[in-house]
Structure 1
Amino acid sequence: MTRHIILGDSDDTPDGALAAAYAALDQGQVHEAYDLAAAALSAANGDNLRLEARALACLAHCDRIHSRLRRASGTSRRAAQLFEQLGDAQGEANALTTLAHVCMLLGRNDEAVEAALLSVQLCKTKQPQPPAVLALNSLGLAYSWGGDHKRGDAALELAVETARRCEPAVSVFQPRINQVWVEASRLIDERFHTGAMRSLARLASLVAECRELERAGIGFALLPGLQAFRAVISPASCALLATWQGDAGLAQTEFEAARRALGTTVTWLDAFVRWCAAEMAWARQDWAATQLELERMRDLALSVEHEQLACRAHLLLIQVFELQGRHEDALRENRILRQREQRVVADSLSHREALVSWRLGARQSERHLQQALVASRQFERWSLEDALTGIANRRHLEQVLDEELRLHASAGQPLAVALLDIDQFKSINDRFTHEVGDRVLKTVAGIMSSQLRKRDLPARWAGDEFVIVFANATAGSAAQVCERVRSAITSFDWESIAAGLRVSVSIGLAEAMSGDTNASLLHRSDTSMYRVKPRSGT
Structure 2
Amino acid sequence: MSHEIAVAERATPAELLSRSRDLLRGSEYETAIALARQAAEEGDPATRAEALWILANCRRLQDDYPQALEYALGAAELFREIGHPGGEARARSEVARALLSSGETDEALKESLSALELAEAGADLSAHVTAMTALGNVYLSMQQLDLALQVCERGAEMARLIGDEIANAALQDTVACVLMNDSEVARGRGDQTEAVRLALAAAERSHTAMLIAREHGHRRNEACALANLAEALGSAGQPARALELLDTWRIDPARDSAYTITHHLDTRGGICLALERYEEAITLFTQALGVAESKSAAMMFCEHLSAAYERSGDFAAALDAHKKYHLLYRQVASEAALRTARVAAVRMETEQAKASAERERLRADGLLRMSLEDPLTGLANRRHLDDELATGVAGRAIALVDVDHFKRVNDSFSHQIGDEVLRALGGLLRPACRAGDVAARYGGEEFAVLFRGLSTAEAAAAAERIRRTVEDYDWAGVAPGLAVTVSVGVAVGGESALPAGLLSLADRRLYEAKNAGRNRVHISTSVS
- TM-score tier, shorter chain, comes to 0.5 to 0.7
1:194-343 paired onto structure 2 within 5 Å = 199-212=195-208, 218-219=212-213, 227-259=218-250, 264-301=255-292, 304-305=293-294, 307-343=295-331
Residue deviations 1:489-534, cap 9 Å, x none? xxxxxxxxxxxxxxxxxxxxxxxxxxxxxxxxxxxxxxxxxxxxxx
1:133-212 paired onto structure 2 within 5 Å = 133-164=129-160, 166-167=161-162, 170=165, 172-185=168-181, 199-212=195-208
The answer (yes or no) to whether the contact 2:52–2:71 under 8 Å persists in 1 is yes
Structure 1 residue aligned with 2:98? 102
Structure 1 residue aligned with 2:35? 36
The answer (yes or no) to whether the contact 1:108–1:344 under 8 Å persists in 2 is no
3-state SS in 2 of match to 1:246: coil
Q: Which of the numbers 54, 62, 65 marks the counterpart of 2:61?
A: 65
Q: Could you tell me how far 1:264 is from its partner in structure 2? A: 4.3
3-state SS in 2 of match to 1:67: coil
CA distance in 1, matches of 2:301, 2:309: 12
The answer (yes or no) to whether the contact 1:163–1:170 under 8 Å persists in 2 is yes
3-state SS in 2 of match to 1:19: helix
Q: Could you tell me how far 1:212 is from its partner in structure 2? A: 4.5
Q: Could you tell me how far 1:327 is from its partner in structure 2? A: 4.4
Residue deviations 1:456-510, cap 9 Å, x none? xxxxxxxxxxxxxxxxxxxxxxxxxxxxxxxxxxxxxxxxxxxxxxxxxxxxxxx
Q: Does residue 112 in structure 1 map to residue 88 in structure 2?
A: no
CA distance in 2, matches of 1:128, 1:55: 19
Identity of aligned residues (%): 17
Q: Could you tell me how far 1:15 is from its partner in structure 2? A: 6.1
CA distance in 2, matches of 1:261, 1:350: 34
CA distance in 2, matches of 1:124, 1:96: 13
Distance 1:80 1:189, change over 3 A: farther
1:443-458 paired onto structure 2 within 5 Å = none
Residue identity opposite 2:345 in structure 1? S
Residue deviations 1:80-115, cap 9 Å, x none? 122223221111111111111121111111121111
Structure 1 stretches lacking a partner, 5+ long: 1-11, 367-538
RMSD, matched Cα: 3.4
Q: Could you tell me how far 1:345 is from its partner in structure 2? A: 2.1
CA distance in 2, matches of 1:197, 1:279: 21
1:489-508 paired onto structure 2 within 5 Å = none
Residue identity opposite 1:278 in structure 2? G
Q: Could you tell me how far 1:28 is from its partner in structure 2? A: 3.8
3-state SS in 2 of match to 1:258: coil
3-state SS in 1 of match to 2:195: coil
Q: Which moved more, 1:350-359 or 1:90-99?
A: 350-359
3-state SS in 1 of match to 2:63: coil
Q: Does residue 19 in structure 1 map to residue 15 in structure 2?
A: no
Q: Could you tell me how far 1:293 is from its partner in structure 2? A: 0.9
Q: Could you tell me how far 1:189 is from its partner in structure 2? A: 7.9
The answer (yes or no) to whether the contact 1:136–1:156 under 8 Å persists in 2 is yes
Q: Could you tell me how far 1:21 is from its partner in structure 2? A: 1.3
Distance 1:127 1:212, change over 3 A: same
Q: Could you tell me how far 1:31 is from its partner in structure 2? A: 1.5
Structure 1 residue aligned with 2:447? none
The answer (yes or no) to whether the contact 1:233–1:258 under 8 Å persists in 2 is no
CA distance in 2, matches of 1:189, 1:269: 26
Q: Does residue 53 in structure 1 map to residue 49 in structure 2?
A: yes
Q: Does residue 121 in structure 1 map to residue 109 in structure 2?
A: no
Residue identity opposite 1:121 in structure 2? E
3-state SS in 2 of match to 1:80: helix
3-state SS in 1 of match to 2:248: helix
Q: Scaled by the length of structure 1, what TM-score is found?
A: 0.57
The answer (yes or no) to whether the contact 2:104–2:336 under 8 Å persists in 1 is yes
Structure 2 stretches lacking a partner, 5+ long: 1-10, 355-528
3-state SS in 1 of match to 2:250: helix
The answer (yes or no) to whether the contact 1:259–1:273 under 8 Å persists in 2 is no
3-state SS in 2 of match to 1:16: helix
Structure 2 residue aligned with 1:372? none
Q: Could you tell me how far 1:199 is from its partner in structure 2? A: 0.6
The answer (yes or no) to whether the contact 2:303–2:322 under 8 Å persists in 1 is yes
CA distance in 1, matches of 2:205, 2:256: 30
Residue deviations 1:427-463, cap 9 Å, x none? xxxxxxxxxxxxxxxxxxxxxxxxxxxxxxxxxxxxx
Q: Could you tell me how far 1:193 is from its partner in structure 2? A: 10
Q: Scaled by the length of structure 2, what TM-score is found?
A: 0.58
The answer (yes or no) to whether the contact 2:183–2:198 under 8 Å persists in 1 is no
CA distance in 1, matches of 2:97, 2:263: 17
3-state SS in 2 of match to 1:316: helix
| Number of matched pairs | 344
Residue identity opposite 2:175 in structure 1? Q
The answer (yes or no) to whether the contact 2:136–2:149 under 8 Å persists in 1 is yes
Q: Could you tell me how far 1:361 is from its partner in structure 2? A: 5.7
Q: Could you tell me how far 1:273 is from its partner in structure 2? A: 0.6
CA distance in 1, matches of 2:290, 2:188: 21
Structure 2 residue aligned with 1:356? 344
The answer (yes or no) to whether the contact 1:232–1:261 under 8 Å persists in 2 is no
Q: Which has the larger radius of gyration?
A: 1
Distance 1:262 1:232, change over 3 A: farther
